[in-house]
Structure 1
Amino acid sequence: MADARRSLIYWIILSPLVVINLFPFAVMISTSLTPGDEVLSGDPRWIPSHFAWVNFKDMWQTVGFGEALTNSLVVGVLTTVLTILVSVPAAYAMVRLTFKGKSTFQTFLLVTQMFSPVVLVIGLFRLVVGIGALDSLIALSVLYCCFHIAFAVWMLRSYFASIPVELEHAAWLEGASAFHAIRTVFVPMAAPAVAVTALFTFIGAWNEYALALAILRSSEHYTLPLKIAALSSGRYQIEWHHVMAATFVATIPVAILFMWLQRHMITGLSGGAVKG
Structure 2
Amino acid sequence: MTPKLKKSILYWVLLSPLCVVILLPFGIMFVTAVRPRDELFVYPPTWTFSEFRWDNFVEMWAKTNFGGALLNSLYVSIASTVIAILLSIPAAYALSRYRFVGKGLYRNFLLMTQMMSPIVLVLGLFRLMVHLNLVNSLNSLVVTYVAFNMAFTIWMLQSYFNTIPRDLEEASWIDGATHFTSLVKIFLPLAIPAMVVTAIFTFINSWNEFVLALTLIRNQNDYTLPVQIFSQVAGRYQVEWHHVMASTVLATVPVAIVFSWLQRYLIRGMALGAVK
- Pairwise TM-score range, normalised by the shorter structure: over 0.9
**Partner SS for 2:120:** coil
**Partner SS for 1:46:** coil
**Partner SS for 1:118:** helix
- Displacement of 1:176 after TM fit? 3.0
1:193-251 superposed Cα distances (whole Å, 9 cap, x missing partner)? 11111111111111111111110011000000001011112111211111110000000
**Are the aligned partners of 1:38 and 1:44 in contact in 2 as well (CA < 8 Å)?**
no
Instruction: Show the counterpart of 1:105.
Output: 106
**Residues in 1 aligned to 2:130 and 2:184: alpha-carbon distance in whole angstroms:** 40
**Residues in 2 aligned to 1:35 and 1:49: alpha-carbon distance in whole angstroms:** 8
* Structure 1 residues 266 and 180: alpha-carbon distance in aligned structure 2, compared to 1, 3 A threshold: farther
**Residues in 1 aligned to 2:39 and 2:267: alpha-carbon distance in whole angstroms:** 45
Instruction: Show the counterpart of 1:124.
Output: 125
Name the TM-score, length of structure 1 as normaliser: 0.93
- Displacement of 1:41 after TM fit? 3.7
Instruction: Show the counterpart of 1:32.
Output: 33
* Structure 1 residues 42 and 234: alpha-carbon distance in aligned structure 2, compared to 1, 3 A threshold: farther
Instruction: Show the counterpart of 2:203.
Output: 202
Instruction: Show the counterpart of 2:273.
Output: none
**Are the aligned partners of 1:191 and 1:265 in contact in 2 as well (CA < 8 Å)?**
no
**Residues in 2 aligned to 1:177 and 1:64: alpha-carbon distance in whole angstroms:** 51
Instruction: Show the counterpart of 1:186.
Output: 187
* Structure 1 residues 147 and 268: alpha-carbon distance in aligned structure 2, compared to 1, 3 A threshold: closer
**Are the aligned partners of 1:189 and 1:268 in contact in 2 as well (CA < 8 Å)?**
no
Matched, 1:255 2:259: no
**Partner SS for 1:50:** coil
- Displacement of 1:128 after TM fit? 0.5
- Displacement of 1:187 after TM fit? 1.2
**Partner SS for 2:45:** coil
- Displacement of 1:173 after TM fit? 2.9
Matched, 1:93 2:94: yes
Instruction: Show the counterpart of 1:167.
Output: 168
**Partner SS for 2:118:** coil
1:57-92 superposed Cα distances (whole Å, 9 cap, x missing partner)? 011110110000010001100110111011111111
Matching residue's letter, 1:121:
V
Matching residue's letter, 1:15:
S
Aligned length: 269
- Displacement of 1:268 after TM fit? 8.3
- Displacement of 1:43 after TM fit? 4.6
- Displacement of 1:174 after TM fit? 3.3
**Are the aligned partners of 1:135 and 1:217 in contact in 2 as well (CA < 8 Å)?**
yes
* Structure 1 residues 148 and 216: alpha-carbon distance in aligned structure 2, compared to 1, 3 A threshold: same
Matched, 1:47 2:48: yes
Instruction: Show the counterpart of 1:140.
Output: 141
Matching residue's letter, 1:203:
I
**Residues in 1 aligned to 2:45 and 2:250: alpha-carbon distance in whole angstroms:** 22
Instruction: Give aligned-pair identity as a percent.
Output: 51
Matched, 1:11 2:4: no
List runs of 5+ in structure 1 lacking aligned partners: 270-276
**Residues in 1 aligned to 2:120 and 2:216: alpha-carbon distance in whole angstroms:** 14
**Are the aligned partners of 1:188 and 1:268 in contact in 2 as well (CA < 8 Å)?**
no
Instruction: Show the counterpart of 1:272.
Output: none
Instruction: Show the counterpart of 1:274.
Output: none
- Displacement of 1:267 after TM fit? 8.1
Matched, 1:240 2:227: no
Instruction: Show the counterpart of 1:68.
Output: 69
Larger CA deviation: 155-164 vs 168-177 = 168-177
Matching residue's letter, 2:194:
A
